[in-house]
Amino acid sequence: MNAVKTLPQIQDIVEEIDRLIAEMAALRNQVFALGSIPAQPDRAAVETDKIEQMEQAANDPLFMADLRETMSAFAAIDAEWWEQTQ
């Protein structure tokens, strides 16, 4: 079996993971309704917090410097990985 995944296959996998996460959240809420586990934070509030953290990161010079360094290193390795053999 070919281990290399194409973009559509990866998208299908991501969509399936998203579906399973949503299903797990629904099941967790059903269990919570029965009173056996504590409530989970509101997903919208969690997403809002993540967006606020991303906005803060964009204005953090140390984070941005680290991000640029990481992306430069990735670009170099990515270029080596995908370089055509001659």
Q: For position 64, what pLDDT does the model report? A: 92
Question: Can you give the residue ranges of every domain in the chain?
Answer: 1-40, 41-86
pLDDT for 71 equals: 92
DSSP string, 4-64: PPPHHHHHHHHHHHHHHHHHHHHHHHHHHHTTSSPPPPPHHHHHHHHHHHHHHHHT-HHHH
**pLDDT reported for residue 3:** 55
Provide CB contacts within 8 A for 63, sequence distance 6+.
Answer: 57
The tens place of each residue's pLDDT in the chain, 86 residues long, gives 455 667 778 888 888 888 898 898 888 888 777 775 566 677 888 888 888 998 898 899 999 999 999 999 998 888 888 875 54
Q: What is the pLDDT of residue 45?
A: 83
32 residue type, one letter: F
